[in-house]
Structure 1
Amino acid sequence: MVEKYKNWLNRIIKLFLFALATLIIVYMARDLVEIFNVIIMPNSERSLGIISDYILAFFMLFEFIVMIVKYIEDTHNIPIKYLVIISITAILRQLLVIHNDAVQTIILTLAILILTIVLYVIELIKKKEIERKKNK
């Protein structure tokens, strides 16, 4: 009986993830059209800030799609490594957009350094775990 409910809930979760992925893809297509319009249309304002905002939003949505796919592939589990990498990417994107405030730039750079150290520690732990399993 419990297994039946688990299967039912799993199907609902997959349906919602599919709906979310579909909505994100539709929004990405809309962003792509907007990028095209801003770049190609002669009467539109060609501000580098506007173009970069659309492009950065597009890649953020792309990362969400990748995360959903990874979640499904890894049996409904997102490894911490991917979350840290996505966080580093998001901070780098923020640095691209807001780079005129020195204090904020230093704080964001330190955040990237800390996340890079976390990635290194995760890899060390992973290697030690593999070695431990080999020695058994």
Structure 2
Amino acid sequence: MEEKLKMLLSIVMNVFLSILAILILIYMGLDLVNIFKLIFIQNKMGSIDTIADYILGFFMLFEFIIMTLKYIEDAHNVPIKYLVLISITAILRQLLVVHNNGGQTLLLTIAILTLTLTLYLLELIKAKEKIRKNK
């Protein structure tokens, strides 16, 4: 009975994730259309900030799709390494958008450094575990 419930929940979760992925892909398509309109249609000439916002939003959605695929591939588990990498990417994106405030830029840079050190420590721990298993 418990196995059937787990299987049913897994199927339902995969269906919901698939629906979410389809909705995100549709929204990404609409973003591409808006970017195209802002860049190429003379009447809709937008500012570079608006175009950058659309492009950054597009890549956020792209990362979310990749994370969802990784979640499904890894048996409903997202490794911490991918979450840290996504966090670094998100902070870099924020750094590109908000670059006129020195204090915030410094804090974002420190956050990136901290996450990079975390990645290094994770790889170091992984290598040590591999050595222990080989002994």
State the TM-score, normalized to the length of structure 1. Answer: 0.98
d(CA) in 2 for partners of 1:31 and 1:134?
Answer: 49
2:130 paired residue number = 130
2:120 counterpart letter in structure 1:
Y
1:78 aligns with 2:78: yes
- Number of residue equivalences: 135
Deviation of residue 46 (structure 1)? 2.5
The residue type equivalent to 1:95 in the other structure is L
Quote the Cα distance in structure 1 between the aligned partners of 2:72 and 2:46.
39
After the TM superposition, which segments of 4 or more aligned residues of structure 1 sit over 3 Å from their partners?
A: none
User: Quick one: distance in 2 between partners of 1:78 and 1:6?
Assistant: 19
Identify the residue that residue 109 of structure 1 maps to in structure 2: 109
Match of 1:47 in 2: 47
The Cα shift of 1:90 comes to 0.3
Quick one: distance in 2 between partners of 1:119 and 1:103? 25
Q: Distance in 2 between matches of 1:130 and 1:73?
A: 23
What residue ranges of structure 2 are gaps of 5+ in the alignment?
none
Instruction: Report the CA distance between 1:32 and its aligned residue.
Output: 0.4
Are residue 15 (structure 1) and residue 15 (structure 2) matched?
yes
Normalised to the residue count of structure 2, the TM-score between the two structures is 0.99
Q: CA deviation at 1:45?
A: 3.3
What's the CA shift for 1:43?
1.3
For 1:63-116, what per-residue CA distance to the aligned partner results, in whole angstroms no more than 9, with x for missing partners?
000000000000100000000000000000001000000000000000000000
2:5 corresponding residue in structure 1: 5
The alignment's C-alpha RMSD in Å is: 0.6
